[in-house]
Structure 1
Amino acid sequence: MSTAETLEERSSVEERAALRQAAAEFTRREIAPHLQEWEDAGELPRSLHLAAARAGLLGVSLPESIGGSGGDLLDTIALQEGMFSEGASSGLMSALFTHGIALPHIAAHGSPELVDRYVRPTLAGELIGALGITEPGGGSDVGNLRTTAVRDGEEWVINGAKTFITSGTRADFVTTAVRTGGPGAGGISLIVVPTSTPGFTVDRKLAKMGWHCSDTAELSYVDVRVPAGNLVGEENAGFWYIAEQFVVERMALAIHGYAIAERSLALTHAHCRERSTFGEPLIKRQVVRHKLVEMRRQVEAAKAYTYAVAEQYVAAGGPNEQVIAAACLAKETACNAATYVCDQAVQLHGGTGYMHGTEVERHYRDARLLPIGGGATEVLTDLAAKLLGYTK
């Protein structure tokens, strides 16, 4: 390795450490004092998006040429780790960074006009975007979605429904997956739909077990007319655009998983040192120490594997079959760690851990969504089996 490469790597490490610290400070100052209020309200204030943009957080890992801050998936990890370390919840991160799933397709394949109208203002904190893929009864079966878009002159006419849409009640636009061609994956396109368009309706705000501060909606499209220019990239190429971004989404959820587990472990460690039962601190009991060690083992394993896959992704310059399969495994590993560690955190906190508003209780509820979101574990395991050659 050359001296120049060594210096470049050292600079990247230092920059990511600074980003992690800045994200942690932003969370302490702007998020932690208000998070329970937002949890109870069921949504985040739009002002938080503006504050995050001013702090330089919204554009991380998106190109500077479109209004981002530059960087790659490893920078995203640094950002998210910093925020989770100071108590940001998985639900908050999903709502504040929904543009991470709403914008990449537009950024990679959209026209300069679409970038100027939607990407730049969103990264400035002025707009909120959502991604509309999942349909009632459809789940993870993206290739068979039924929402249609029919060309009528210089407009697309859209009819259908979407559900489980993150930030759906606050969104100014929805990057919507529609069927413009024949059956199967080859007939899907992506079209940007402003939520102010006649015929677009937020049917209801969905109440959930966790992710309380992340508003989630059911949407309907009834003869919604949008300009033909709102098509993202090529007609009938939408499935492939979606697929190429799924790796980053699944990696983000893997980060959610090990990071809320790591935070829950830290809170539990502190609690076990401070809490006394039968005249002794909990930490003096062997069974408690062994639980903490197992929690730590699972956190470290999930974190190391996620980092390894992220480095593969960055080195490859994007997704390939090996990285796609590895991302599926990283997500499952981290989700399993979150499920176990957050459960044990509640257990070791005792009655306190079961109280609404206790941080470990929030992480426990939020963790349950991770094996479902971004592709259910069962679906991703089968996908990995195919990519790894474990099928006939």
Structure 2
Amino acid sequence: MTGTEQTSSGQTSAEDYEALRASVEEFARKEVAPVIGDLYIREEFPYDIVAKMGAMGLFGLPVGEEYGGMGGDYLALCLALEELARVDSSVAITVEAGVSLGAMPIFRFGTDEQKARWLPDIAAGRALGAFGLTEPGGGSDAGATRTTARLDGGEWVINGSKCFITNSGTDITSVVTVTAVTGEKPGGGKEISAILVPAGTPGFTVSEKYSKVGWNCSDTRELFFDDVRVPEENLLGERGRGYAQFLSILDEGRIAIAALSVGLAQGCVDESLRYAGEREAFGHTIGSYQAIQFKIADMEVRAHTARLAWRHAAQLMLDGKPFKHEAAIAKLVASNAAMDNARDATQIFGGYGFMNEYPVGRFYRDAKILEVGEGTSEVQKMLIARHLGL
């Protein structure tokens, strides 16, 4: 697969977006679908799939070509995420977190030296980056950071812990960006900065992987920092701007999670259509009954509407216009669609929907976290209400 090409006006052409989408759709159908069910049951990280996605350039889609990326944009990334999630969300979130949380903070805020050191391997899928923000006592209140970092002899000394961190403990994880309190603001309050911590640094340990309800092929861990020392130049961006930097990254990430959610919602439609045409009850395929037809129609409407929402937010972002409000709407609408469609698909499948061997069972388990990660539904409503002046 080649990278997306830009027209003379600087915009990627519709034909190239479609070519990318189609290539990822084919990859998900041929390479992911046949193997992901067994990996999911065994809770194994899909290293072979990650390597193949890296060779396709998916981890470097919005990263500049000078750092080994594809030189594309966020819309291209989101198109890929939607197609991956139509088949499996663990694979999709591995790419989403690897790009949005692993690569993009470095690409957006890193020095030339930091970009040259970390981005080529991440963009090629040879390595994964992670972002350590959430803490056990923090949750949605990311500003309540307790992890600390102090300067000592030209080094940052980091102490604290993080939880629910994706891609942080794989065999190919290379670096984790960590938010830490580095002082006090002149007017009071915590000065929070972002610092790059290479995997394997003494004092930096990762827990065993969590036992999760869903996303079973995704790597998620708790991180511990005990007098971890890294060079002063590992500061990412401006000192004291770590929290603000993360918020801007989170706005972009909400569009990506919305696209992933739409993929899961559409996957539920795909599987339900197939099953409704095969399963017979009372002498007819269940798809001939209006109750099933209406349920699938509602599912399609949800997926279609949510897709319009994330694409609108993505287009505003590409046009350089404010998109925070639209990103929150997209994330809220799409995660709701994913959860509702997963529930309806499981109902259509009946008892078989409760079996791990069928994709809809996996979709049902994976859907709930979409209403929590990258900002809960309640946080999205808070942002929307704030935009309206409430």
1:91 aligns with 2:90: yes
Q: 2:157, 2:229 within 8 Å by CA — same for their partners in 1? A: yes
Which sections of structure 1, spanning at least 5 residues, go unmatched?
none
CA distance in 2, matches of 1:136, 1:84: 28
CA distance in 1, matches of 2:189, 2:305: 35
Match for residue 159 of structure 1? Answer: 159
Alignment of 1:247-326 (within 5 A): 247-316=251-320, 320=322, 323-326=323-326
1:15 aligns with 2:40: no
Q: 1:59, 1:69 within 8 Å by CA — same for their partners in 2? A: yes
Match for residue 145 of structure 2? Answer: 145
Q: CA separation of 1:158/1:7 partners in 2, compared to 1, >3 Å: closer, same or farther?
A: closer
Alignment of 1:51-90 (within 5 A): 51-85=52-86, 87=87, 89-90=88-89
The correspondence for 1:203, drawn from 203, 207, 216, is 207
Note the C-alpha offset of 1:160.
Answer: 0.2
Paired letter, 2:238: E
- The two structures, once aligned, show a CA RMSD in angstroms of 2.0
CA distance in 1, matches of 2:151, 2:234: 12
Paired letter, 1:243: L
Match for residue 347 of structure 1? Answer: 347
Note the C-alpha offset of 1:354.
Answer: 0.6
Alignment of 1:183-202 (within 5 A): 187-202=191-206
Q: 2:306, 2:330 within 8 Å by CA — same for their partners in 1? A: yes
Note the C-alpha offset of 1:293.
Answer: 1.2
Instruction: Specify the SS of the correspondent of 2:371.
Output: coil
Instruction: Specify the SS of the correspondent of 2:193.
Output: strand
The correspondence for 2:178, drawn from 176, 184, 188, is 176
Instruction: Specify the SS of the correspondent of 2:207.
Output: strand
Aligned length, in residue pairs: 380
TM-score, normalised by the number of residues in structure 1: 0.92
CA distance in 2, matches of 1:8, 1:237: 33
Q: 1:185, 1:239 within 8 Å by CA — same for their partners in 2? A: no
Q: 1:186, 1:237 within 8 Å by CA — same for their partners in 2? A: no
Paired letter, 2:362: R
CA distance in 2, matches of 1:299, 1:59: 27
Q: 1:44, 1:95 within 8 Å by CA — same for their partners in 2? A: no
CA distance in 2, matches of 1:383, 1:359: 33
Paired letter, 2:98: H
Q: 1:143, 1:185 within 8 Å by CA — same for their partners in 2? A: no
Instruction: Specify the SS of the correspondent of 1:165.
Output: strand
Note the C-alpha offset of 1:43.
Answer: 3.6
Match for residue 50 of structure 1? Answer: 51
Q: CA separation of 1:230/1:339 partners in 2, compared to 1, >3 Å: closer, same or farther?
A: same
CA distance in 2, matches of 1:305, 1:379: 18
The CA deviation string for residues 65-116 of structure 1, in whole angstroms up to 9 with x for no partner, is 322101222212322233334x1x1222112342221121111111122112
The CA deviation string for residues 12-37 of structure 1, in whole angstroms up to 9 with x for no partner, is 11001111121122223432222123
Q: 2:78, 2:255 within 8 Å by CA — same for their partners in 1? A: no
1:244 aligns with 2:248: yes
Paired letter, 2:369: L
Match for residue 33 of structure 2? Answer: 32
Q: 1:20, 1:80 within 8 Å by CA — same for their partners in 2? A: no
Note the C-alpha offset of 1:214.
Answer: 0.5
Note the C-alpha offset of 1:288.
Answer: 1.1
Q: 2:62, 2:69 within 8 Å by CA — same for their partners in 1? A: yes
1:359 aligns with 2:359: yes
Match for residue 385 of structure 1? Answer: 385
Instruction: Specify the SS of the correspondent of 2:341.
Output: helix
CA distance in 1, matches of 2:319, 2:116: 30
CA distance in 2, matches of 1:203, 1:49: 22
Paired letter, 2:108: A
Paired letter, 2:388: L
Which sections of structure 2, spanning at least 5 residues, go unmatched?
1-5
Note the C-alpha offset of 1:7.
Answer: 8.3
Q: CA separation of 1:294/1:205 partners in 2, compared to 1, >3 Å: closer, same or farther?
A: same
Instruction: Specify the SS of the correspondent of 1:193.
Output: strand
Match for residue 132 of structure 1? Answer: 132
Note the C-alpha offset of 1:353.
Answer: 0.8
CA distance in 2, matches of 1:237, 1:132: 15
Q: 1:158, 1:221 within 8 Å by CA — same for their partners in 2? A: yes
Note the C-alpha offset of 1:185.
Answer: 7.1
CA distance in 2, matches of 1:102, 1:77: 16
Residue identity (%): 36
Note the C-alpha offset of 1:286.
Answer: 1.4
